[in-house]
Amino acid sequence: MLQTLGSDESYRPSDPAFGEDHAQSLGFGHYIDILKRRFFYFLLAFGVVSILGLCLAAIQKPNYLSEGKILVESQVIAPDLVGPAVTAAGGERIQLIQRIQQRVMTRDNLLSIANRFGLFPKRPDVLDLMRESSLIKPAEIAGARPSNEPSIAFTVGFEYERPELAMRVASEFVSLIINEDERLRTSRSTEAVRILTSETKGIEDKLDSTQTQIFELARQPREDASQISEQERSRLAALAALKAELIQKTAVYSEAHPAVIALKKRITAMEKDLAQQAPSKVQSTRADDIEALKRQREALEKRLAEANSKLATARLSEKLDRDQQSERLQIIELPPLPEKPLKSNRIKLVGIAFAAAAALGICAVIAAELLDGSIRSRHQLIGLIPNTLIVSIPYMTTRGDEIRARVRVIIGAVSAVMLLMVLGGLLIVVFLYLPLDLSLLEKAAVVFRAPTQ
């Protein structure tokens, strides 16, 4: 029941509670009353969204990671016995492994592995998924070598939703890396031997040509002057034979070998003897050219000795690679069958689901309150009554209203308890019963196969 004054009357309420009612009507208690009235709207929206979010988190497939380890094994023969050229440095091995990784992780190899093992079926971005799921990470193991040099190890792994496929694909990557390393090492040493053999052959040809020019220059003046006797011809032939024998010896032995030193002394002595007997006019006209050719011959002999040394080292390296006695990759840990999945985003999804459910529930309460035209407080009456409000009579509840209110409270409590039970069961399934998808599918397959057997 409402009492009002006329338009020409004025009244100022003496009760301070009436003036404070408008300020208190929008306080915390006002919103609590709204939540009580619209509890079913909040409960319905919160329950639907949270159940959907938990179901989405429950059906999310977990990923498994299988990792194997590869170690760069030191060569069997000590480095001081084969020389530093045969032993690869750590930086070179890292670069070699990086090249192996680039060759293994090519588009053709990844697509071939995905098709062979049936990975990521019907996914257009299968190549990107393969690269994201593959793991090839270098690492150093300190103190593994006796020479205080850190050993180089590599972790090779693959991440997938099925543990047996993760293990098989990781093992495939390990095999590809080992085979590619062996192929690259053998091809490198074989190519080095081929190049050095060609270089050595070229130096030998130049040296033979220089020797021939020297012989021709030494023989031509005597023929022009017609001063060569039969004895001198035989001695020149013997000198040519000695020089040819020297070329053969230097291709096999080093400069410090006794046979090479003896031949050089004999050649030098015979050349001096022939030079003393040659006419002075011939010596003056051909001496400069012969000396230049001799210096060129000495330089070629040094180059030939260096090339022969490099060729011998390359052949030794090739033999070590073929016999698998050089520095190579060794599997120290095969990829195992993973037993536990990786940390998934289930906790994050559950948190997002509850937050979205609470926000949507609050939005449902606000929307229901805004769309409702019922008068709930005094300040709502002030805006509706054109005259000044003197006093408002509160709403009087009947026994039927009380019974209906109690029924609503009971229904709300039961609904809340049921929702909590459902959410609790879903949380148990999400966090304790893992993996949901694989176990349920296997059990269902067993049940459906049983009648047919």
Low pLDDT (below 70) residues in the chain: 1-30, 73-94, 96-97, 139-151, 220-233, 275-286, 317-318, 320-328, 343-345, 373-397, 401, 412, 426-453
pLDDT at 168: 93
Whose CA is closest to 436, among 64, 60, 163? 60
pLDDT at 79: 46
The number of beta carbons lying within 10 Å of the beta carbon of residue 385 is: 12
**Phi, psi for 119 (deg, rounded to 5):** -85, 140
Answer for the pair 222, 286: CB distance below 8 angstroms, yes or no.
no
pLDDT at 27: 61
**Is residue 66 within a helix (H) or strand (E), and if so which, with residue range?**
strand 64-73
Please give the full DSSP string across 258-313, using - where no structure is assigned: HHHHHHHHHHHHHHHHHHHHS-HHHHHHHHHHHHHHHHHHHHHHHHHHHHHHHHHH
d(CA 217, CA 263): 21
Answer for the pair 80, 337: CB distance below 8 angstroms, yes or no.
no
Whose CA is closest to 181, among 110, 111, 103? 103
- Kindly list the domain boundaries of the chain, sorted by start residue: 2-60+344-449, 64-195+324-333, 201-322
Please give the full DSSP string across 378-404, using - where no structure is assigned: HHHHHHH-SS-EEEEPPPPP-HHHHHH
Whose CA is closest to 139, among 182, 88, 94, 169? 94
Predicted model pTM: 0.48
Strand order of the β-sheet with 134-141 is: 134-141, 151-160, 64-73, 328-333
pLDDT at 84: 45
Answer for the pair 53, 425: CB distance below 8 angstroms, yes or no.
no
**How is domain 64-195+324-333 classified at the architecture level of CATH?**
2-Layer Sandwich (3.30)
pLDDT at 14: 41
CA distances in angstroms from 157 to 70, 153, 343, listed in the order given: 11, 13, 16
